[in-house]
């Protein structure tokens, strides 16, 4: 598909500088009424780098960025890499205690904040970026004391394996892990935003406006920020609260002239339900992070799809994306969403229980190797060695290669396509039976009656028992459809895997736009305790 054209040679900051030289006066970021060009962004970043350098920031020294999303945050990220540091993006919506905990866990001595967040926590070295329209004033003031020769030494030279970012994952275990992303894992993503071919229209030649809505502490924001900039695009900063109002979200896409974006599968499902033509003006829409609803994909494809609707797959431990697949109606007809082909400098392996490679058709755990591999988990050698392993290199007998074990059960089908099946660690034990929640959800979604589904193990209030519950949102909440759903589940699943069905208007999403299962559990518990629960939920038991 031609997603990447360059070998991993130029560093991440060098690729950004290339774009600064080619398009100095092009808008780099648009946020509300504010706009800065590529040359201005480069200058602001050099000023930040200069300030960090005077405070002796070591190479790969972690710098926490605690700002609202937008211009100041992006300036800070670039400035940190210009100075040779490591970016630790922090979600400003986190509690102060959690922010301090992550700062301490990373051993961060440097903190960049904006005026809104400057008093929330502190480090050994603190820098405050003025917000709103005073950023230009900040620049002018700094220019009085910083000479251009000093600024010219940035960005400093670093290796391809430079640790560019640290991201705390949400973690399937509930305990965040600090993943160390390398710059080369980001540079291999170059050209993801450049339309190289479309499913419905000719190749777009218009400038690309990338919607930046992903949480800055979510690795997908790398696409919004860094891939946009090294692709020479303009970043349109979208308000985060749009995630929870699909109609306003759709309006914002058109108002901001957004041509491309990445959203989580959960958000994609919600938007497709609210307005299946929402992405019709876009050249490229990526969705991923979870399994998307085939019915949602079908609705979008049949009601004015974007030029390219792309299913993207990849863990944080492999720098956002490993594979991509342009979705078509043929996929819907075959009732599958292939993971697609590996991106440049990416190798995929299916492994059996003995960690031996599976050839041809079959199912096994997906392992990924290549330039996108993270260095590992910060200060956790045990977890790193468990997830990042060495396997025999069949291309070079006698040698070994490093791969990441994804924990995903994947099937290679007869035509060679890889299809995600379940999380290997997403099993729960209910009444003595092992139940894979992903399999329950997939069987329910196969009915074609649902927009989304989430199966959970719901303990009783006293914790003595537990039941299998599936919260669903339906295309049509007619009680007969729920009964049909249960009949189909009964015919496709063993009795112990048939859940209690709870119909909701929507499923809760976390800060990253993914399904929030903890919030769902609390919601269901709260509902069980309230007399008016039936006013909010239509609950049907088998």
Q: Collect all residues with Cβ–Cβ distance below 8 Å to 53 and sequence separation of at least 6.
A: 83, 154
Residue 2 maps to a domain: no
d(CA 108, CA 340): 38
Give the pLDDT score at 310. Answer: 97
- In this prediction, residues 105-128 reach a mean pLDDT of 92
Q: 449 and 483 in one domain? A: yes
Could you tell me what percent of the chain has a pLDDT over 70? 89
Is 60 exceeded by the pLDDT of residue 288? yes
* pLDDT tens digits along 426-445: 878 787 777 888 889 888 98
In this structure, is residue 288 part of a structural domain? yes
- What are the tokens at 254? 């058109």
CA distances (Å), origin 447, targets 269, 452, 490, 506: 16, 11, 12, 18
Is there a single domain that holds both residue 88 and residue 130?
A: yes
Give the count of domains, the chain: 4
Q: Is the pLDDT of residue 106 over 80?
A: yes
pLDDT digits (tens, 9 = 90+) for 224-248: 999 999 999 999 999 988 887 888 9
Task: Reply yes or no on whether the pLDDT at 201 is more than 90.
Answer: no
Q: Who wins on pLDDT, 390 or 139?
A: 390
Domain endpoint, select from 324, 342, 360: 342
**pLDDT (0 to 100) of residue 236:** 98
- The string of pLDDT tens digits covering residues 209-218 is 999 999 999 9
In this structure, the answer to whether residues 125 and 52 fall within a common structural domain is: yes
Indicate whether 204 and 353 sit together in one domain: no
Domain with 411 in it: 345-422
Residue 366 has pLDDT above 50, yes or no: yes
Phi-psi region of 196 (alpha: psi -120 to 50; beta: other; left: phi over 0): alpha
DSSP single-letter state for residue 242: G
Query: 437 and 478, same structural domain?
Result: yes
CB 392 within 8 A of CB 426: no
pTM of the model: 0.84
Q: For residue 117, is it within any domain?
A: yes
Query: Domain boundary at 368, 397, 422, which?
Result: 422
Co-location of 312 and 393 in the same domain: no
Cβ-contact 254, 281 below 8 angstroms? yes
* Residue 4 clears pLDDT 50, i.e. is over it: no
Query: Same domain for 290 and 235?
Result: yes
Residues 368-417 have pLDDT tens digits of 999 999 999 999 999 999 999 999 887 788 889 999 999 999 999 989 99
80 and 158 together in one domain: yes
Whether 108 and 40 share a structural domain: yes
Q: Where are the alpha helices (DSSP H) in 367-466?
A: 381-387, 437-445
> Quick one: how far is CA 383 from the chain centroid?
22
* CATH code assigned at 302: 3.40.50.980
Give the span between the Cα atoms of 339 and 314, in whole angstroms: 9
Do 510 and 366 lie in a common domain?
no
User: Strand 427-430 to strand 234-237: parallel, antiparallel, or no bridges (unpaired)?
Assistant: unpaired
Same domain, 100 and 199: no
Per-residue pLDDT tens for 296-348? 999 999 999 999 999 999 999 999 999 999 999 999 999 999 999 999 999 99
Query: Integer distance in angstroms from the first to the last C-alpha of the chain?
Result: 47
Provide the CATH number for the domain around residue 393.
2.30.38.10
Contact 238, 210 (CB under 8 A): no
C-alpha to C-alpha distances, 217 to 17, 80, 170, 181, 209, nearest whole angstrom: 24, 16, 10, 13, 22
Mean pLDDT of 67-78: 96
How does the average pLDDT of the chain come out, rounded? 87
Helix crossing, 437-445 with 479-492: angle to 10°?
130
Q: Give the whole-angstrom CA distance, residue 89 versus residue 80.
A: 11
Given pLDDT bands bounded at 50, 70 and 90, which one contains residue 511?
Answer: confident
Specify if 30 maps to a domain.
Answer: no
Mean predicted confidence (pLDDT) in 29-34: 96
Residues with Cβ within 8 Å of 78's Cβ and at least 6 positions away in sequence, in order, are 13, 16, 41, 42, 44, 45, 48, 229
Both 98 and 195 in one domain: the answer is no
- Across 2-16, 126-140, 187-201, 288-302, which has the greatest mean pLDDT? 288-302
**pLDDT average, residue stretch 348-364:** 93
**Which of 166-175, 302-311, 496-505, 506-515 is the most confident on average?**
302-311
- Return d(Cα 19, Cα 90) in angstroms, integer: 27
Query: And the tokens for 192?
Result: 């993801």
| pLDDT reading at 135 higher than 60 | no
């Amino acid at each position: 598909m031609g997603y990447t054209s360059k070998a991993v040679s130029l560093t991440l900051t060098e690729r950004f500088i290339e774009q600064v030289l080619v398009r100095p006066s092009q808008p780099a970021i648009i946020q509300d009424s504010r706009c800065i060009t590529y040359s201005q962004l480069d200058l602001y970043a050099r000023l930040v780098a200069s300030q960090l350098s005077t405070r002796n920031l070591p190479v790969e020294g972690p710098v926490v960025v605690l700002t609202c999303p937008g211009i100041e945050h992006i300036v800070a990220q670039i400035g940190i890499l210009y100075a040779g540091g490591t970016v630790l993006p922090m979600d400003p919506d986190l509690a102060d205690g959690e922010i301090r905990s992550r700062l301490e866990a990373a051993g961060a001595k440097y903190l960049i904040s904006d005026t809104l967040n400057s008093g929330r926590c502190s480090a050994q070295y603190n820098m405050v970026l003025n917000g709103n329209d005073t950023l230009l004033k900040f620049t002018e003031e700094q220019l009085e004391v910083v000479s251009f020769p000093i600024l010219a030494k940035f960005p400093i030279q670093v290796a391809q394996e430079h640790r560019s970012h640290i991201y705390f994952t949400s973690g399937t275990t509930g305990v965040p892990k600090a993943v160390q992303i390398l710059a080369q894992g980001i540079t291999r993503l170059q050209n993801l935003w450049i339309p190289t071919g479309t499913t419905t229209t000719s190749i777009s030649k218009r400038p690309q406006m990338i919607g930046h809505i992903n949480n800055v502490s979510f690795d997908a924001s790398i696409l919004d920020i860094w891939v946009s900039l090294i692709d020479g695009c303009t970043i349109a900063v979208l308000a985060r609260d749009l995630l929870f109002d699909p109609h306003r979200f759709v309006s914002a896409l058109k108002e901001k002239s957004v041509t491309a974006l990445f959203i989580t599968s959960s958000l994609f499902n919600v938007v497709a339900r609210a307005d299946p033509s929402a992405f019709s003006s876009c050249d490229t829409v990526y969705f991923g992070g979870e399994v998307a609803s085939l019915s949602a994909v079908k609705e979008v494809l049949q009601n004015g799809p974007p030029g390219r609707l792309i299913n993207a797959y990849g863990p944080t431990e492999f720098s956002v994306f490993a594979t991509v697949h342009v979705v078509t109606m043929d996929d819907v007809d075959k009732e599958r969403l292939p993971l697609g082909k590996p991106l440049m400098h990416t190798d995929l392996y299916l492994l059996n229980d003995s960690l031996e490679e599976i050839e041809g058709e079959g199912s096994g755990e997906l392992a990924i190797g290549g330039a996108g591999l993270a260095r590992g988990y910060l200060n956790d050698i045990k977890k790193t060695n468990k997830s990042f392993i060495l396997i025999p290199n069949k291309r070079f007998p006698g040698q070994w290669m490093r791969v990441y074990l994804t924990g995903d059960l994947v099937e290679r089908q007869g035509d060679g396509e890889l299809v995600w099946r379940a999380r290997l660690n997403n099993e729960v034990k209910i009444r003595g039976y092992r139940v894979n929640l992903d399999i329950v959800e997939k069987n329910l979604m196969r009915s074609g009656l649902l927009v989304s589904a989430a199966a959970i193990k719901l303990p009783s209030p006293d914790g003595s028992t537990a039941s299998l519950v599936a919260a669903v949102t339906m295309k049509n909440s007619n009680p007969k459809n729920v009964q049909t759903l249960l009949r189909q589940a009964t015919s496709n699943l063993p009795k112990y895997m048939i859940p209690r069905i709870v119909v909701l208007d929507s499923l809760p999403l976390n800060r990253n736009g993914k399904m929030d299962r903890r919030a769902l559990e609390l919601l269901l518990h709260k509902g069980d305790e309230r007399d008016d629960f039936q006013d909010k939920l239509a609950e049907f038991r088998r």
